[in-house]
Every structure is written in structure tokens, then in C-alpha cells.
A and B are shown apart, each in its own frame.
Chain A
Amino acid sequence: MRGPNTKAFQQGFLKNMILSLQACSEFCISSSASGGAAMMSLQQRKYAIKSSADIAMATARGRGARWPQAVLASSSSPSRRLSKPSSSPGKKKNTRVCKKIVRRCLHTWRRSRGGTGGASSLARTRTAMICSREIARRLVRKRTKVLRKMIPGGELLDEISLLHEAVDYVAHLHAQVDVLRRISNAVQRG
């Protein structure tokens, strides 16, 4: 069962998803058995479907990657919204840091321009190149941080394994989207 694009993986994923959905529904039924028919809202249902799809994908993946473990761990812990409040001060910090960086670059560039005054264009271009290299490096680092947040379990990985996990995760996300689309088409048809 190598590769997420094999039919075997998709079948396994399907089965897992059906099982988890059944477990969800039974839990709903049993929890609301005393209180009558308490239907889940759209949001709840959507969340149930999405998390069961994630879990199904993670379990169908089996060994060989780290993100399934992170997905399962995150789905089992009830604290899901803790990351939300911390993001806004983080964003402000990021913008502050970005502004500082840009200002510093501008300072060094202006200083070099003023200092050389046209005597050595080579030095000027060299400092400009160095500035651009620094900027590129910072951009890459920023994007790596964003990627770390998006890939489950990516916070603890180093760059090389992060890229490896990203490859794996993207392939499996493709398969998950495919299966979900097929399910929704089938349910709509009949």
C-alpha cells in the first residue's frame, strides 16, 4: 500500500471514515438518548465530518511519517482553540520585527550609498547584494515558519524533515480531497 494515490489507500481511508462517522453518530445518539432528538448543528456536523476525515487519513497512512501522530494527538485533545488568542500578539510582533528589518536594511543601504558616494560602485552593489541575500533568507525563514504551522507536527521538525513531511502531507491531502469529493457526489446522486 505504497503511495496515497493507490486505490488501496483510498479504500482504507473510506472504511476508516465510515467507521469513525458511525462512532460519532452513535456517540451522538447515546449522549442525547435521554434528551430526545438533539440534532447536531451544521457546524458540529461539519466538524465531525472533517475530523473523521482527518483521522481516517491519518490512520490509513500508517507508519512512515510523523504527521499522522500529530493529527491523532491534536484530535484527541479537547483544547483546540488555544492557539487562536496567541496569534494576534504574535502577528503584531511579526510586523514590528519586519519593520525593524526593513528599516535596518534601508539604513545600511543609505549609509553605504552616502559613504561611497559613487567612488566604488562595486562596493555599493556588493552591499546591495548582501542586503538582498539577507532579505531572501529572512523571507525563506518566515515562510518556513508558516509552513510549520500548517503541517501537523511540523513545529518540532528541522528543515529537511519538514520538507519531507510536506511532500507526504500534500500527497495525502490530494487523496483526501479526492475521496471526499467522490463521497459527496455519490451521496448527492443517490
Chain B
Amino acid sequence: MRHASPPQELPAAGGEIQAALAPATASSARAGARGGGGGGSFTALLGLPTSQAIELLLPRTAPPPALALAPAPAPAAAPAPAFPSDPHLVDRAARFSTFAPPSPSSPSPAPPPPPPPAAAANAGKRKADTVDRASKGKAAKKGKTAEEKPAGGDGDDEKPAYVHVRARRGQATDSHSLAERARREKINARMELLKELVPGCSKVSGTALVLDEIINHVQSLQRQVEYLSMRLAAVNPRVDFGGLDSFLTTECGRIAGFNCKNGIDLEQVTWPEMGVHGARQLMQLQQQFWHGDLAHPHQVASQWEKRGDGHPPVFSNSNPSLFGYDLTSSGKSFTQSYIFLTEFSCLSLTSHISAWLGPRLLSLTLSCQHSLEKKMCTDRRTLPVGADGPNPINACPEPETISPPSFCLGLAA
């Protein structure tokens, strides 16, 4: 920003600058006539394509055509190289261009038609105004076109809004209505999504009826869940589904990699059940967990072969990934649910089964909980915030650790 030379030379350079402006607009007008002036009558008035008009109007970029042409018509003028890059200078130049007599016979390579100099004058004035107003900090959302009043905007407000949101022809341009329109568009977009999701909604029009359908659908889904759980409860005299493990292995299928990791996780996590077989096997599992010691893979493998899975060969592969939290392969949400569930099972052990398994188990669960929390914290730090919006679930570890015992207690209530 060079302020030294411009102030003195501006009165003299006003004519040169207008000359610089005029050929710029003229040349771009020639280009713009080919390029199609879509995007509002203002830009059509200006004779420029929308992009160039935006460049002219927004303060941050100096008009490149002026940049290109400025050295040529005014080689002797000292501020000429400085002129294009200084928005303030452009402002003053614009203002001076309005004061200078708008002579169509200004020295320019091509005879500019009468509207462009007047348009340039208007553009200059408007440019100055928009620069002044825009610099006040209104967020530039989209294009401009808040000033299409003189171009024949019918139904526009009389006061230009300078808010830089695209206002269509024939619509109000004050900030309230624009914000309302943005909000309405968001709501309509979400309603479209819901309409796609809920069957039978596509032919219904109107927000109230669509909402009605959505409510009915959600109610029916919840009722279906209740009915299915009632059916499941009626089939089994007991709540635990032992046969579901085999169901799980058949259902999981043979998805390579992911399946193995999941299978391992499940097996390692269901050590509450394995604990029924004896504390000794639990100690082995403890070793595997916390020391990464694969000294006894065979005993563990034998346990797994009981279930008929082909997991032992892949145990060594997945163990480092398990503790290194290889997130990219399996997805973040699953490892987090895994974390939650291990804590869940840990705490259920702590509160209910530790009595008959002994103090060793208690320390095991506590250490399990601590290291898992630590890992979760580091996990969350390394995780990029992939969730959309705020992350209230960041606070989840604490409620999650507190909730399972009360969940178990709540069941008895």
C-alpha cells in the first residue's frame, strides 16, 4: 500500500486513470459481449461477464484488465504501476472519474459507447461504495446483485443491502428475508431427504402432511422393534442367546480383514463368559491383553476352535492393530463401540461378578478400564473430527463408564 506518491499526483492523474479505466471497461466490454452477461442486469449494464464484474466489485482483487492495460496508456505516470494493486487508489480513482467530465472522446483505442463511461462512472461510484461497505465486515456469502435497482429490478427494495447473498430477481433483499430464505431452503432440503426415506411420502405435498407421515412411520418402526423383541423374548426362556455366536459367524461371512479383526475383538471381549470356565484362563487372557504376550496363543486358540472359527492364525496380525487402534481399516465408530463395550463388560464384571472371581479380577478390570480410558483419550486426540457438527459425544467416556452399572441396576428396577 503505497500512500506516498498517490495523494499529490491524483488530481493530475485523474484523467489518466479515467483513461485507464475506460479502455479497461471497453476491452472487457468487448470480451463480455461475447461471453454472455448472465447474472443480473447490473452486470449486463456493465457489459462484463459475471466473474469480471465480481472482480471489479470485490475489493480484494484488483481489476486485472486495468492491471494489464494500465502500464500501456500511462507509461510516464509514476503511480501507474502502483495503481492497480491499491484498492484505496482505485477508490480515489473511481471517485475522481466521476468528477472528471464524462467525455466519450477520451483518449482510448476504441470509441467507447456512451453507456460504458457512464456505467464506468456508476460502476466506479458503486465500487467505492461496495468497497466501503464490504470492508465493514458483512460476510460475503455468494455473488452480489444486491444493487440491481437501476437496471430495472422490479420489486426490489429501494435500499441496496450490500450483504453479498444472491438475491434473485423480484425478491426482497433485506437481511432478514435472506436469512429466512436460507433457513427455509435448508428445511426444505431436509424434508426432501426425509421424503425419500419414508415410503409413501413422495406424492404428499405440504410440510404438515409429510411430517404426519414421518411420525406415523417412526411410530410403526418403534412398534415393530417392540414386537420383535417380544417375539425374541417369548422364544427363549433365558435372555442370553448362546446360539447367536454361531449365527454371528455365519452371518459375518468371509469378509477378509474386517471380519478377522471383528472376530478377534468379539472373542477377546467376551472374556466375561470365558471367565466362567476358570480364573486361570482369565489370567492368560490378561497376559495377552496387557503385555501383548503371545506366549500362550495355543490355549487361546483352542478356546476359539471350540467355536469353530478360523481365527488363531490371524490373531498375531490383528493384535498390534487392536492396540494400535488401526482406525483406517475398520472404521472409527466400530473401535469406539468396541471401547465402550469392553468398558461395559469390565464394569459389569466389577460390580457383579468380582465377588466370586476374586480380587485379581478386580485389579484386572480396573487396569483394563484405566488403560482403555487412556487409549481412548489418545484416540480422540489423534482422531480428526470426522463427525459433522459439534461433538457432544466427546464427553461420552465419563457417562459411558458410569452408565453401565446403573444400566444393570436399572434393569432390576
Real complex partners, A and B?
A: yes
Chain A residues with CB under 8 Å of chain B are 1, 7-8, 11-12, 14-16, 18-28, 30-31, 39-40, 42, 44-51, 53-55, 59-64, 66, 68-69, 72-73, 75-78, 80, 136, 139-140, 143-144, 146-147, 150-151, 159-161, 163-164, 166-167, 169-171, 173-174, 176-177, 180-184, 186-188, 190
Query: For the complex, what is the distance from the CA of A32 to the CA of B42, rounded to whole Å?
Result: 81
Beta-carbon contact of A19 and B341 below 8 Å: yes
How many whole Å from B274's CB to the nearest CB in chain A? 11
Which residues of B lie under 8 Å from residue A146 when comparing CB positions?
Answer: 215
Known contacts A163-B191, A167-B197; decide if A150 and B218 are in contact (CB<8 Å).
Answer: yes
Task: State in angstroms the CA–CA spacing of A187 and B233 once bound together.
Answer: 11
By a CB distance below 8 angstroms, the chain A residues around B407 are 51, 55, 75-76
CA distance A46 to B255 in the complex (A): 32
**A60→B225 contact, CB < 8 A:** no
Q: Which residues of A contact B51 (CB under 8 A)?
A: none
A172 to chain B, nearest CB (A): 10
Q: Given A62-B336, A78-B410, A140-B207 in contact, is the A188-B391 Cβ separation under 8 Å? A: no
Interface size on B, residues (CB 8 A): 91
Q: Are B219 and A23 in contact (CB under 8 A)?
A: no
20 further A-B contacts with Cβ under 8 Å, apart from A68-B393, A147-B211, A177-B225, are A8-B258, A8-B331, A15-B266, A16-B341, A18-B245, A21-B240, A22-B273, A28-B239, A49-B229, A59-B337, A76-B406, A136-B208, A140-B207, A147-B215, A160-B183, A163-B187, A170-B217, A173-B218, A180-B225, A187-B243
A-B contact pairs, 17 of them (CB 8 A): A15-B262, A24-B239, A24-B240, A26-B240, A26-B273, A48-B239, A69-B393, A72-B399, A73-B403, A75-B403, A146-B215, A160-B190, A166-B218, A171-B197, A183-B241, A183-B247, A187-B247
Contact B333 A1 (CB under 8 A): yes
Q: Is the CB of B206 within 8 A of A12?
A: no
> How many angstroms between the C-alpha atoms of A19 and B240 in the bound complex?
9
A-chain residues with CB within 8 Å of residue B266 when the two chains form the complex: 15, 18-19
Instruction: Judge whether B208 and A61 touch: CB under 8 Å.
Output: no
CB distance from A158 to the nearest CB of B (A): 10
CB pair A177–B273 under 8 Å, yes or no, is: no
Q: Among B229, B270, B337, B353, point to the contact of A16 (Cβ < 8 A).
A: B337
Interface digits, B321-353 against A, CB 8 Å rule (1 contact, 0 not)?
Answer: 000000000111110110011001100100011
A180 to chain B, nearest CB (A): 4
B180 contacts A by Cβ under 8 Å: no
CB contacts (< 8 Å) of A25 on chain B: these are: 238-240
CB contact between B214 and one of A8, A21, A80, A147 (< 8 Å): that residue = A147
Q: Please tell me if the beta carbons of B221 and A170 are within 8 angstroms of each other in the complex.
A: yes
In the complex formed, the residue of A with least CB distance to B207 is A140
Q: Is the CB of A42 within 8 A of B403?
A: no
Closest chain A residue, CB of each to CB of B219: A150
Q: Among the listed B207, B232, B386, B410, which residue makes an inter-chain contact with A63, where contact means beta carbons less than 8 Å apart?
A: B386
Q: Shortest beta-carbon distance, B239 to chain A, in Å? A: 5
Which residues of A lie under 8 Å from residue B183 when comparing CB positions? 160
Kindly state whether residue B269 has any CB partner on chain A within 8 Å: yes
List the B side residues contacting A170 at CB < 8 Å: 194, 197-198, 214, 217-218, 221
B295 at the interface (CB under 8 A from A): no
Q: How far is the CB of B373 from chain A (nearest CB, A)?
A: 16
**Is there contact, CB below 8 Å, between B215 and A27?**
no
Min CB gap A94→B, angstroms: 15
Q: Which of A11, A68, A166, A181 contacts B194 (CB 8 A)?
A: A166
Q: Quick one: closest B residue to A144, CB to CB?
A: B211
Decide if A45 touches B239 in the complex (CB within 8 Å): yes
CA distance A169 to B197 in the complex (A): 11
Please determine whether B269 and A184 come into contact, CB atoms closer than 8 angstroms: no
Question: Given A12-B334, A49-B233, A59–B218 Cβ distance below 8 Å?
Answer: no
Question: Is B12 in the interface zone, CB < 8 Å from A?
Answer: no
Measured in the bound complex, the distance between the Cα atoms of B231 and A143 in whole Å is: 31
